[in-house]
Chains A and B, each alone.
Chain A
Amino acid sequence: MVDTIVFLVAAAICLTGAVGVILARNPVHSALMLVMTLFGIAVQFVSQEAHFLAAVQVIVYAGAIVVLFLFVIMLLGVDTAQNLEIGILPAQKWAALCFGVGSLALTGYIIMAVDNPVTGRTGLSGAIDDTANVRLLARSLFSNYVYAFELTSLLLVIAVIGAVVLARKPAKELPDEAGR
């Protein structure tokens, strides 16, 4: 019973935030609505006993990514209300409608058609037992997926260098900036 209530409250928070992200006219409101959704997802992770991912979700997503969004919004000064209709292509509106209605219909059909989505066959990579969640995840990460884990560090370095190169002002514009 408690599980059901937790799920429903967290799901309502998630969906409210998600709808708020695409309906808010002010980008700052969208970013704050995104935080709401991410917290709802973190609650869902906790109720599924993915404790490490719930913590990382709050720290990385809500703590770092959304703050980065807010920094950029403030840096560019685009925190003004915007008309939702500006420049929208007519075909795109219909594409969005078709995508939304089609995907919802497909989801509904799958719910009706499929009795149980889980086959019950457990995977080979690592069974979840009574061991702590963090320990299980670490064992999987540093044994079966250690190569991918090392590659992510390379990816992050590339991302950092790319962001620095992209965000830096070109050298020829620097005198103008100094003259201001």
Chain B
Amino acid sequence: MIVTTSWYLVLGALLFIIGGVGLLVRRNPLIMLMCVELMLNGINLSFVAFSTALGDIGGQTVVFFVLVVAAAEVVVGLGLIVAILRRAPGSTADDLSVLKG
């Protein structure tokens, strides 16, 4: 058996699906951010698979930018979570519906 591009794409799709289901199921904001990371990693794997298959470095460049954006997103997201949980300890994502004003 030879590892083809499809194998990597399927693995990336599975990671994306698991992350998406976790995002919908879990209520802890920290775990939800981790699920977003899972989804981003699934996409990164697909980008690198296409980059290798097509012989084009552009896919890997995009993954580099995705890494930077993921890092920035986690920093701001965790800052928000710290600010919220300091005010209302133990709150879940559902409790934040009070923000609707």
A interface residues, Cβ below 8 angstroms from B = 3-4, 7, 11, 14-15, 18-19, 21-22, 27, 30-31, 34, 37-38, 41, 44-45, 47-50, 52-53, 56-57, 60-61, 64-65, 68-69, 72-73, 75-76, 78, 82, 84, 86-89, 92-93, 95-96, 99-100, 103-104, 107, 111, 116-123, 125-128, 133, 136-137, 139-141, 144-145, 148, 152, 155-156, 158-160, 162-167, 169
Q: List residues of chain B with CB within 8 A of the CB of A19.
A: 18
Q: List residues of chain B with CB within 8 A of the CB of A15.
A: 11, 14-15, 18
- Give the shortest distance, in Å, between B5 (CB) and chain A (any CB): 5
Cβ contact within 8 Å between B79 and A166? yes
Q: List the 7 closest pairs (A to B, CB-CB), nearest first.
A: A22-B22, A123-B56, A166-B79, A159-B72, A96-B24, A125-B58, A163-B79
- Give the shortest distance, in Å, between B37 (CB) and chain A (any CB): 6
Q: List residues of chain A with CB within 8 A of the CB of B9.
A: 117
Q: List residues of chain B with CB within 8 A of the CB of A73.
A: 30
25 A-B contacts (beta carbon < 8 Å) = A3-B3, A4-B2, A7-B7, A11-B7, A22-B25, A34-B38, A44-B45, A45-B45, A50-B60, A61-B70, A65-B71, A68-B75, A76-B81, A86-B27, A92-B24, A100-B20, A117-B6, A119-B54, A125-B57, A140-B58, A140-B60, A145-B65, A159-B75, A160-B75, A163-B78
